[in-house]
Amino acid sequence: MRALMLIAPLLVFVLLSFVIPIASMLFRSVENGIVSETLPLTVEALDGWDADGDQLPDEAIYEAFVRDMVVAIEAKKHTRLGSRLNYEETGMSSMFRKSGRALKKLNPDTDGPFKDQLIDIHDGFGELQTWRVIKTHSVEVTNGYFLNAIDMQRTHEGAVSQPEDKQILVKLFIRTMFMSLIITGSCILLAYPISYLLATLPMRVSNLLMILVLLPFWTSLLVRTSAWKVMLQQQGVINDTLVWLGLVSDSARLIIINNQIGTIIAMTHILLPFMILPMYSVMQTIPVTYTRAAKSMGATNWTTFWRIYFPQSIPGIGAGSILVFILSIGYYITPEIVGGTKGVFISNRIAYHISSSLNWGLAAALGTILLGVVLILYWAYDKIVGIDNVKLG
């Protein structure tokens, strides 16, 4: 009980500042109450309308819609409703916003019938698709955001694929996983010899190398990424050096910015310390007497490394790989700056929907899928390698 009391402040802080906000955000991926809350009479009236037919709703539905909209306009909720429906059908937001002033002047009790009046206010009210979208997305719990996240769409006919020019999110998921694996592999190849040197060199030299490894942590992430943007551009340091050495002609400078190559190079540099530190901490605990014993029994340097040293360093590789991979799939600052349109990750799309398009439901669905993929990969890693074999020293 005393131990629980000691950690209680931290638990409360984590619960209030981390768990509850994330759970609330993830709930937005299925929450869809705005249509039914803003248009309750319309939604009820639309239950009896056949969305698969070719007939517009009858006058009773138009009257219910006017009654709901008058209340919604008074409460200034009609623009939010239009924004929500616009995620599913382009032009809905503009229709609700432009027709708001005219609808506000209507009296539901005396100005009927309303069907022709609404069509005169905006042509969209005379289109079947408008009412199909309202009915389809009037449910309080929806799978629409998850369908959008995999390049599909919820319609009155069921789930259908998005138009080909809008199918980008699945490609971004695949690109994110593929590039994260490449970045993780690059970090392993670069970090292993550095970690080996840190663990085997004399303390004075290894301390100096450790300072160089930790030096990037003392520099802002934005500064490091911006520096790579300067270095990787066609008139940057790397291309100038290659031209000066005669390895590349001035007219054939490498294009290593605003693409996947730039993202991989920059992120490998940024995430490299996260791979080195777990490897080094594990390698430091490997007794040197093991390798000496192997050599004394006639083993070559390669056999000693491959049969004795490397298996004992695998827990460090596993810990570093998990850390780097999970960090890389969630990065968005570096891909945004150096990746251009071909090197961005799914996290950049999530950030866009949160800050620009304000489609938080789709952002939450994308985040939920990304979280699920990470957990599946974590489970697979545990089954194949065993999470108990992952060590940090």
- Answer whether 111's CB lies under 8 Å from 117's CB: yes
Banded model confidence at residue 391, pLDDT cuts 50, 70, 90: low
Q: Is the pLDDT of residue 300 over 60?
A: yes
pLDDT > 70: percent of the chain: 97
pLDDT above 80 (res 240): yes
CA 331/CA 329 separation, integer angstroms:
6
Dist. CA 83–CA 357, nearest whole Å: 10
- How much is the pLDDT for 266? 92
Q: What is the pLDDT of residue 165?
A: 80
Pairing state of beta strands 158-161 and 152-155? antiparallel
CB 128 within 8 A of CB 54: yes
What is the per-residue pLDDT for 365? 93
Please list the residues that pair with 158 across neighbouring strands.
155
Q: With 60 as the cut, is the pLDDT of residue 80 above it?
A: yes
Is pLDDT above 90 for 267? Answer: yes
Write out pLDDT tens, residues 8-20: 999 999 999 888 9
pLDDT for 12 equals 92
Task: Give the pLDDT band (50/70/90) at residue 44.
Answer: very high
Domains assigned to the chain: 32-140 (no CATH), 169-389 (1.10.3720.10)
Give residue 249's pLDDT: 86
**Residue 392 pLDDT more than 60?**
no
**Cβ 30 vs Cβ 141: under 8 Å:** yes
Two tokens, residue 289: 């007497």
Residues 6+ apart with CB under 8 A from 217: 273
- pLDDT band per the 50, 70, 90 thresholds, residue 388: low
Predicted pLDDT of residue 188:
95
Asked if residue 164 has pLDDT above 60, the reply is: yes
Q: Inform me whether the pLDDT recorded for 386 exceeds 70.
A: no
pLDDT at 180: 93
Question: What are the pLDDT digits (tens) for 20-40?
Answer: 988 888 899 999 989 999 999
> Higher confidence at residue 310 or residue 111?
310
Residue 383 has pLDDT above 80, yes or no: no
| One-letter amino acid for residue 182 of the chain | I
